[in-house]
Amino acid sequence: MGENGLKIIGLMANSEDKRIRNILNYSNKIGAEIDEIIPNDLGEIDWREKLYSSNWLVNHSSTILFGENAKLAWSNSMTFAELEGCKSVMIVEVPDNPDDLEGVWGAVIEKIRQINILFLDPEVIDKISKLEGIPRDSLLNKIRMMSLIPIVCSYDTELRSAKVSHSGGNFEVSTNNKLQNYRWISAFLCGLSNSGNEDSGLVDAASGKFLRI
């Protein structure tokens, strides 16, 4: 376990996947133990060993676009996480080819019951909002309400603003500094593990309070 008693594991699309690596690196800097899974040979992956001791499994929606192995590992990882009591985080961003978004979002919806935290990038919120025909402002809340994901969130770097929809309600909170998305996610996950799931704990975690301690 890391300094803060937290272990975060990330499923990479391949060994060069910077998105997941960035989140892991940021998390490591703020005290979490990290590990990664690279889906080269699925038969080689000991899911139980990897996930049993982890608190969070971080996945990215675009991973499914990196071939069959990555797609299968992406799906399997969330199932094993569920079995091993490790919580799943899904980061949704606009894919490199925006036309892939509909397929990617469809795949996320299929796995929605296994996701504990859904992070939507501000840019993707606009697109999903159009795709689903749901107004942008209420998208997070409506997705959470209908899919029963415990936390649906987003962070806008330019506005330094985090939006969180959870079972106790919705809130918006600012961070002191402009954080890069992945850095905010790392801080949020580490913060959550430190402050628990109570409403005030969620606000603290989303405001990046953990980074200031």
- By CB under 8 A, name the binding residues for other proteins: 71-72, 75-76, 79, 82-83, 102, 106, 109-110, 112-114, 116, 131-134, 142-143, 145-150, 167
**What minimum distance in Å lies between the beta carbon of 79 and other proteins?**
4
Adjacent-strand bridge partners of 54: none
Nearer to other proteins, 62 or 207 (CB): 62
Cβ atoms of 202 and 64 within 8 Å: the answer is no
Cβ atoms of 90 and 118 within 8 Å: the answer is yes
Identity at 116, one-letter amino acid code: N
Nearer to other proteins, 142 or 160 (CB): 142
**What minimum distance in Å lies between the beta carbon of 150 and other proteins?**
5
Identity at 32, one-letter amino acid code: A
The DSSP H or E segment spanning 32 is none
Nearer to other proteins, 24 or 124 (CB): 124
Nearer to other proteins, 130 or 212 (CB): 130
Torsion of CA 154, 108, 26, 85, to 10 degrees: 110
Nearer to other proteins, 15 or 98 (CB): 98
Cβ atoms of 135 and 142 within 8 Å: the answer is no
**What minimum distance in Å lies between the beta carbon of 185 and other proteins?**
20
Nearer to other proteins, 75 or 194 (CB): 75
**What minimum distance in Å lies between the beta carbon of 132 and other proteins?**
6
Which residue matches tokens 């987003």?
154
**What minimum distance in Å lies between the beta carbon of 114 and other proteins?**
4
Query: CA 51 to CA 116: how far, in whole Å?
Result: 15
Sign, CA torsion 9/11/122/29:
positive
**What minimum distance in Å lies between the beta carbon of 111 and other proteins?**
9
Query: CA 8 to CA 27: how far, in whole Å?
Result: 8
Closest CA to 62 of 119, 2, 145: 119
